[in-house]
Amino acid sequence: MSTRPICWQAWLTTTEPISMSMVITIKQALSQAQRLQGVSEGWRLESEILLAHVLNCERETLFAWPAQELSRQQADAYQNMMQRRERGEPIAYITGKKAFWDFELKVNPQVLIPRPETELLVETAINLLQPKCSAALRLADLGTGSGAIALALARHRKHWRITAVDISPQALALAAENAQLLQVENIEFCESSWCDGLDARAYDLVAANPPYVAVGDRHLQQGDLRFEPSIALAAEASGLSHLQEIVKKCRKILKKEAWLLLEHGFDQKQAVSNLLRDAGYSNISCAVDLAGVDRLTCAQSPG
């Protein structure tokens, strides 16, 4: 769905809810946009996304046909979605979908909403494997959630074999559904705690976006994080407990000089580097995301 800016009209100013017992037009429905002003800086865009989702159309269509009337069912659905967003529920959970990389994923409250920052992990993995991209490589995505990372890598090279791991059967079911919808076949799903049960010395690259927010961090009670599964967000030991476990266990499943890629918090670069160095990894480096934040640390396994 397009998200480029659209010219707004002066009529998008009403903040009082429109009665759904009356016939309303697209123009009148969009006049409710300011109801979301206290929820998000992108309130205008969000109201467009919700209405376009209800009408199953592109956002541009809303402005091409402002006099088009909504059916009673469509008007009720839009009102319901606006109310959910007013309560702070993430747009991705309301619409049930989220764009990632070059495709769209189904999402639900059982999984973390894929972030644009995580695309850095996919991009880095592809670049690191470029010298041997024609080989039949084996990759693993630990804590796959919706399957975002695993599916992006599987779609990039159909001869790569991807193992998507998660401890949550609900998350794995959704990831498998996304794979089916995207017609991705070079992927397998494994219910496991991180890399427990995976083949020894079998993987050329392991990627992980584990929980790394410290338990009790105030941000967990703010914004979208309030609605996302805490199991996918929070970790003990100042947010490092899962990262520490992955660093230790991945030595057993990575080939010699294979890559481990770890997404982490903005202030965890040094701590993660120390974990890797103490475990014998080499060629440790950190990449920054689009906001200039230290977001991803890479290292090669000692084998």
**Cα(145)–Cα(178) distance, integer angstroms:** 11
Confidence of residue 6 (pLDDT cuts 50, 70, 90): very low
Confidence of residue 1 (pLDDT cuts 50, 70, 90): very low
Residues with Cβ within 8 Å of residue 144, at least 6 apart in sequence? 150, 164, 165, 166, 171, 172, 175, 189
Tens digits of residue pLDDT in 269-294: 999 999 999 999 999 999 999 999 99
Confidence of residue 303 (pLDDT cuts 50, 70, 90): confident
Parallel/antiparallel/unpaired status of strands 213-214 and 234-235: parallel
For 17, the 3-state DSSP assignment is coil
pLDDT of 11 over the 90 cut: no
Amino acid in the structure at residue 240: L
Task: Kindly list the structural domains of the chain, giving each domain's residue range(s) and its CATH number in brackets, ordered by start.
Answer: 26-88 (1.10.8), 100-300 (3.40.50.150)
Task: Supply the pLDDT for residue 197.
Answer: 87
Nearest to 106 by CA among 118, 93, 117, 115: 93
Radius of gyration for the alpha carbons in the chain, expressed in angstroms and rounded? 22
Tens digits of residue pLDDT in 57-78: 999 999 999 999 999 999 999 9
Amino acid in the structure at residue 193: S
Residue 161, beta-bridge partner list: 138
Buried b (16+ CB within 10 A) or exposed e, 236-252: eeebbbbbbbbbebbbe
Average pLDDT on 110-131 reads 97
